[in-house]
Structure 1
């Protein structure tokens, strides 16, 4: 059974919507800024959404959180399509499956700080906003959806898993449409948590470079309508694994990453040579990039697809990363949105291979301004605990 990704709403440090995102992606314009001292007490860059976020409708004020504002901004871009699907299929035949790892934690941080100062918690604060299912609950209330609605939280693979779960609901004919994607917002918990792991960079992160020293944390939201109705892009392959090698470090040989990519290729009934672009997980941490380089060489032996990591542009959006990077692939695959068939190039010191780590197996880096035959793209998301996801998207011929 075929599943299609019919429409997309997104907001990230690169901007809001299709045009702004594509322009920044292909120009290599990052959305990273210095982190304020209110978030972390050491230098680092963050991928903050700088656009003014829409206020929630008054009747949904109890759902206020930055996470839900990001989600609302994404949903409003496809609001007409969501409402048309509900009208056509009925509220019980529409589901919501999202990935997140922060939910409304930032609001709880502000409330706890106020209480510690002897002040009242901010108006409309509710600890329920930090519960992981809250984003799905908010969308379900907003659109009065009666189908399954839940959030998957498996760290950085969360929204990749959401796409897999959404596809499974459609394959089982439990619903006709799934609003799927991911959302995460900046907060002290994640920034300081990764700092405690010595995993954050003081400057713009540099995936796969010799001097890479950690990640930048970002925030974003991406929502897609997935259905059996033909659309511009098809989700043709999903693969997942859980190697459980270590609570935070990946398997050094990339066994779990290899398993996820091969499972996605098998699911799509494709050979490795049929992947036209590989969006790497590429966090810019020493261990992750080393592992992923080895895994890509294992899976794509004899053929290396043009590849890049977009985290140097957006930061690592954690629970939203799988969705936002699948969204980038969705945009790149469509000639109407990407008429020159270009790819985002990796961050580099001087436009050649000199900056990349010579100790890593060499990958086929996408080149800025070059035209590529783009029909099929793979996007990788690898998480703590060895929880790995690979998705394969394919352009539908017109």
Structure 2
């Protein structure tokens, strides 16, 4: 495929707001996980909660969209000059030529949960919660479109944990087909009762900080995050950006609602497609951001896949131990980490993990490392076999 440049990018998660906070945590192997304090009866688990979400007050023109998910999106969009970068693109291309593709798995369901706890005598939402658009999966995209002042094609992608990775694939198609000149991609997901108790009912939640690929791993730690990127055709001269999206691969193996294919067939197909579109062999990849949730099956399948497909020198890690599994926002946050690895030569380690499972190869590293990262691969493997791999690289 023809590369797309990443003109701006940002992420906000449990380790802080924006790229600098994230890069510092990755360099210091500092986890943002904490004992669960979410809800009236917190589950005995650990979470990646973003500080300050409750304190956000949306400006009056956007007040109709108020909910926890959109507040977190607001925080994320204000970081790293991202809103200003989109404004410059809007001036360059026109508002109708900038697409918006966002991923989320819960959207504003936390607000809907709250509304159901306040039903009146007739069983209706209270007046302040009768905001139909807020209680829909497209709430995040409608909010972001108004905030950014763009009016091109708008999509919400909800494919579980791969949601905000697949946004890059959709954006590439929109731009290649001439439906847009640039696209804002990303996603946001926040903690809520449905998420915490839902994953707990599947017996996937750990009672301690998650330990990806550890021999004694006990499950996932849930988190929340918002991340965004501005992608456009590769420019020349002063408008050229040094970071590019080189390839993507998607596959749906549909093996099971919540368990990956035992041989990782869908995951491997997505990986192969991403490398093929980028025109690269596995040996070219310097860093892999693995999906690495710390669940028994996910780590078993992905660990085996990386071990058989990549040379021992490849530096691979899971960053779930820094901010938790941020659900529909996981893909964009880990894409941002991959971009930081290329931009800064920083390959993160795998925090909280002590002893790697014997079934995994030497590619998985516990400690961070420095060195040139020419190409990075980011894996996002979701429920239902919704798999996506992304390849990022430096401009030629």
Bin of the TM-score, shorter chain as denominator length: over 0.9
Greater CA drift, 274-283 or 367-376: 367-376
Give a deviation string over 1:341-376, Cα, whole Å, max 9, x none.
2321112555xxxx1111x23242335353222111
Greater CA drift, 214-223 or 44-53: 44-53
Count of aligned pairs? 386
Q: Is the 8 A contact 1:12 1:49 kept in 2?
A: yes
Q: Structure 1: how far apart are the matches of 2:352 and 2:210? A: 11
Give a deviation string over 1:375-396, Cα, whole Å, max 9, x none.
1100000011111000000022
Q: Structure 1: how far apart are the matches of 2:130 and 2:392? A: 40
Pairwise CA RMSD of aligned residues?
1.9
CA offset at residue 142 of structure 1? Answer: 2.0
SS class of match (1:333): helix
Q: Structure 2: how far apart are the matches of 1:121 and 1:207? A: 43
Residue 255 (structure 2) pairs with residue 245 (structure 1): yes
After TM superposition, list the pairs within 5 Å mapping 1:219-368 onto structure 2: 219-228=224-233, 229=235, 230-300=240-310, 302-303=311-312, 305-334=314-343, 338=344, 341-348=345-352, 355-358=355-358, 360-366=359-365, 368=367
- Alignment match, 2:96: 92
- Alignment match, 1:28: 29
Q: Structure 2: how far apart are the matches of 1:43 and 1:93? A: 47
Q: Structure 1: how far apart are the matches of 2:160 and 2:18? A: 25
- Alignment match, 2:60: 58
Q: Is the 8 A contact 1:137 1:150 kept in 2?
A: no
Q: Structure 2: how far apart are the matches of 1:349 and 1:59? A: 45
Greater CA drift, 199-208 or 108-117: 108-117
CA offset at residue 234 of structure 1? Answer: 0.2
Q: Structure 2: how far apart are the matches of 1:303 and 1:368? A: 15
Give a deviation string over 1:167-215, Cα, whole Å, max 9, x none.
1111112111100011101100011111000000011000011111110
Q: Is the 8 A contact 1:278 1:305 kept in 2?
A: yes
- Alignment match, 1:378: 377
Q: Is the 8 A contact 1:205 1:216 kept in 2?
A: yes
Q: Is the 8 A contact 2:209 2:321 kept in 1?
A: yes
Q: Structure 1: how far apart are the matches of 2:41 and 2:205? A: 11
SS class of match (2:117): helix
SS class of match (2:373): coil
Residue 44 (structure 2) pairs with residue 43 (structure 1): yes
In structure 2, the CA distance between the partners of 1:181 and 1:76, relative to structure 1 (3 Å rule), is same
Give ranges in structure 1 of 5+ residues lacking alignment. Answer: none
Give a deviation string over 1:38-90, Cα, whole Å, max 9, x none.
26553000110013553211011111111111111222231111111111111
Greater CA drift, 117-126 or 15-24: 117-126
Q: Structure 2: how far apart are the matches of 1:63 and 1:296? A: 42
Q: Structure 2: how far apart are the matches of 1:100 and 1:58? A: 24
- Alignment match, 1:393: 392
Residue 150 (structure 2) pairs with residue 142 (structure 1): no
Q: Is the 8 A contact 1:343 1:367 kept in 2?
A: no
Give a deviation string over 1:312-348, Cα, whole Å, max 9, x none.
11100010000010011111211xxx2xx23211125
Q: Is the 8 A contact 2:312 2:361 kept in 1?
A: no
Q: Is the 8 A contact 2:212 2:353 kept in 1?
A: no
Give the TM-score of the pair, scaled to structure 1: 0.92
Q: Is the 8 A contact 2:5 2:241 kept in 1?
A: yes
Residue 105 (structure 2) pairs with residue 106 (structure 1): no
Give the TM-score of the pair, scaled to structure 2: 0.93
In structure 2, the CA distance between the partners of 1:271 and 1:40, relative to structure 1 (3 Å rule), is farther
Q: Structure 1: how far apart are the matches of 2:253 and 2:368? A: 38
In structure 2, the CA distance between the partners of 1:296 and 1:62, relative to structure 1 (3 Å rule), is same
Q: Structure 2: how far apart are the matches of 1:37 and 1:55? A: 20
Q: Structure 1: how far apart are the matches of 2:209 and 2:72? A: 23
Q: Structure 2: how far apart are the matches of 1:180 and 1:169? A: 12
SS class of match (1:114): coil
In structure 2, the CA distance between the partners of 1:99 and 1:171, relative to structure 1 (3 Å rule), is same
Q: Structure 2: how far apart are the matches of 1:214 and 1:231? A: 39
